[in-house]
A and B are shown apart, each in its own frame.
Chain A
């Protein structure tokens, strides 16, 4: 009935002015999030709010280095989000390994596993730098160039190949079953 493409400018304005962040800030950069949300560099005036449920959130912040254990959770949470979704990476670790360029357990190029829209350089970027990055992502949404979610959907085989290479095939079930003995032991202890 209605051609929704006529409303795209309105939708893009709404999407850029009401980004909800998944509360997933692990890694060193998590310490830079509270200054952003409190009175000095207030993030809420752009409409950005931290939201604990990924099903309602659009922006994923990868704040700092990523280990394989964290990467599994990041992938699962990222796939729970509805389209369109954006990813912003803080620091040099997601870009090329940063200070952990020779560590055995830090992911050097996060772009192989999760598509990233904006990377903010620094170790850790100050709040002003993060605001700059947010400005850039808002511009990209307005232009329509923030299409990491499209890249993920179109090149899903390539991403999946990289993920499986790192973790091994069927890694979700194995990871789930790994925790069952611990859970069941606790339940037996309670009963």
Chain B
């Protein structure tokens, strides 16, 4: 009987390969959907197993390396995120995938993600990390080579840093599985406390931390390593981006948690704390705060619908990093809660974008408008997603943002608190931009016969929207699972309520009273006279008559005053910096090729002679 962890990890890959080999249109969709649904079913079953035993474990030895896989509470939560959002994304791809190539790589990246979450030693972690990056790179490559090249270079830089850090750890510790490394580093910290010599010196542990930070920061999209994200998220199949930005970025977040688990005690001993947060955590949190602001402000200024949501993804991951960085148990729980809610609403948003792009064929705001009447189901889903991202109770986005805010303030970090507050306002702002340009206003005549979402996409969106609403009204369901990570009741309260001792949030009361308020307003509304519907051209424009040929909606450059206010800061761009560094390296290589590898045989003969003389003098 094959262990269920192996089934969870490898089923999507096998399904993808079969779907790629049998290129029959209906069959490959069915196989892929089954391939994404089976791990989800096993994970739900594993929930019951985990209630009785604390973890499910599996290890296999291949050519001298021992690969370990472990399913315990934290990895179960992250694997469930991958399962649900991945399943919804694959279901969405049923409508938008173009050929079997995409199925293969989408499912391969799902395998990679499962492997990353379930790995218990550094080698399997790295292998599955690379599988995940490779598969997503291939998905982007099909659409746009330049974007995929940027993604590839930055990911490879991250992967090499991770490899270096793993190498340094292996050299000193001698083993690769998480349990041994954790124990050794903990003893190291204890030795440091007692005053004896430690295994890792200060510079070594700082270097390992920095390398891991680069590796996971690239994946999560931290400022300044975020430059691959807008292009990569836009230039691929948009249903796949639901998984790409919803799940794969959580691998970066999981990596940050791995830093905490493995290196946490050692770094706290070495570098101390700022306030109540560890110093190394404060670095992560501060980078997260800047990411929130930069991502959000840039999102408000975009003209392309996919890029707006790509920058929005970067901004939301910043929230999670702030929560992780602050380091107390409550803030880590809040960060994981936000990871769950971000995966849910961002996955929903990208599926909506996929529907819009599929049905209208347009991707820029200036071509869209007034779609709310033509695509009512999609608009209802978009309404739920907008309320969730803006952080409006009673949906799940508010619960997670509230938790992060309370956790950060409780640890006395005012600057981070101000950054988070600003971030939620920015979320409001770019969402209204999206709503106004796409759903409301005057409709261009060429969009007059757009159809609504196809059935698979509608089902996928429905699943995610339902989870958004359910987890918002009953936030205690998620909080209960999160409390099991730490074993004690950090977030108290019932399933309807989150009680932190210094603040309470009750999802049920808010929903009930909101409905009562809307009913009262509705009564006042219906007591008035009846309404008659008027077309959009029957509007006040200082008495001038208007026809449909006038442009009545501001679709381009909507936030021009914001661009003018930020004109100074927008001149700094890390994207241009990286491109300039790339060009500089190219020029250097060109110079070297010109002077050294110049094709002149006599020069090569001279090089050979010089090297032989040096070797002879060296005594080899």
Contacts and interface: CB of A to CB of B under 8 A. Distances in A.
B545 A176 contact: yes
Contacts of A80: 538, 540
A183 interface: yes
Interface string B542-586: 111111011000000000000000000000000000000000000
| Most A C-beta atoms less than 10 A away, residue of B527, B543, B546 | B543
B531 to A, nearest CB: 10
Contacts of A179: 544
Interface string A153-185: 000000000000000000011011101100100
Interface string B504-516: 0000000000000
Nearest to A83: B529
A73 interface: yes
Nearest to A171: B545
Contacts of B542: 73
A76 interface: yes
Interface string A79-102: 010000000000000000000000
Contact of A76 (B545, B549, B550): B545
A77 B543 contact: yes
A183 B546 CA distance: 12
B544 A73 contact: yes
| Most B C-beta atoms less than 10 A away, residue of A76, A175, A179 | A76
A76 B544 contact: yes
A129 interface: no
Contacts of B544: 73, 76, 175-176, 179
A76 B547 contact: no
A176 B543 contact: no
Interface residues of B, number: 11
Nearest to B527: A2
Given A53-B540, A54-B540, A80-B538, A173 B550 contact: no
B540 A77 contact: yes
A82 to B, nearest CB: 9
A55 interface: yes
A172 B548 CA distance: 13
Contact of B549 (A24, A53, A77, A177): A177
B547 A55 contact: no
Contact of A176 (B527, B538, B540, B546): B546
Interface string A1-40: 0100000000000000000000010000000000000000
B544 to A, nearest CB: 7
Contacts of B549: 176-177, 180
| Most A C-beta atoms less than 10 A away, residue of B545, B546, B549 | B545
Contact of B543 (A24, A173, A180, A183): A24
A73 to B, nearest CB: 3
Q: Give the dominant DSSP class at B's interface.
A: loop
Contacts of A48: none
**Range, interface on chain A:** 10 to 19
A121 interface: no
A131 interface: no
Contact of A173 (B527, B538, B540, B545): B545
Nearest to A53: B540
A76 B537 CA distance: 12
A140 interface: no
A80 B539 CA distance: 8
A74 interface: yes
Contacts of A183: 550
B552 to A, nearest CB: 12
A174 to B, nearest CB: 9
Nearest to A73: B543
Given A76-B543, A77-B543, A175-B545, A180 B538 contact: no
Contacts of B543: 24, 72-74, 76-77
A170 B319 CA distance: 57
A73 B546 CA distance: 12
A189 to B, nearest CB: 16
Nearest to B548: A176
Interface in A33-77: 53-55, 72-74, 76-77
A24 to B, nearest CB: 7
A22 B256 CA distance: 61
A134 to B, nearest CB: 24
Interface string B325-348: 000000000000000000000000
Contacts of B538: 80
Contacts of A180: 549-550
B520 to A, nearest CB: 16
B366 to A, nearest CB: 12
Contacts of A173: 545, 547
Contacts of A54: 540
A177 B542 CA distance: 16
A173 B547 CA distance: 7
A179 B542 CA distance: 14
A185 to B, nearest CB: 14
A55 B545 CA distance: 15
Nearest to A175: B545
Contacts of A74: 543
Contacts of A77: 540, 543
A190 to B, nearest CB: 11
Contacts of B540: 53-55, 77, 80
A74 B540 CA distance: 12
Contacts of B550: 176, 180, 183
Nearest to B542: A73
A15 to B, nearest CB: 14
A66 to B, nearest CB: 13
Interface string A109-127: 0000000000000000000
A172 B545 CA distance: 6
A183 B544 CA distance: 13
Nearest to B534: A80
A53 B542 CA distance: 9
A176 B549 CA distance: 9
A90 to B, nearest CB: 19
A72 B543 CA distance: 8
Contacts of A177: 547, 549
A64 B527 CA distance: 39
Interface in B488-547: 527, 538, 540, 542-547
Contacts of A175: 544-545
Contacts of A72: 543, 545
B442 to A, nearest CB: 14
A74 B545 CA distance: 11
B551 to A, nearest CB: 8
Q: Which 10 A-B pairs have the closest CB atoms?
A: A73-B543, A172-B545, A176-B545, A176-B547, A77-B543, A76-B543, A175-B545, A80-B540, A176-B546, A54-B540
Given A72-B545, A177-B549, A183-B550, 19 more contacts: A2-B527, A53-B540, A54-B540, A72-B543, A73-B542, A73-B543, A74-B543, A76-B543, A76-B544, A80-B538, A80-B540, A172-B545, A175-B544, A175-B545, A176-B544, A176-B546, A176-B547, A177-B547, A180-B549
18 contacts: A53-B540, A54-B540, A55-B540, A72-B543, A73-B542, A76-B544, A77-B540, A77-B543, A80-B540, A173-B545, A175-B544, A175-B545, A176-B544, A176-B546, A176-B547, A176-B550, A177-B547, A180-B550
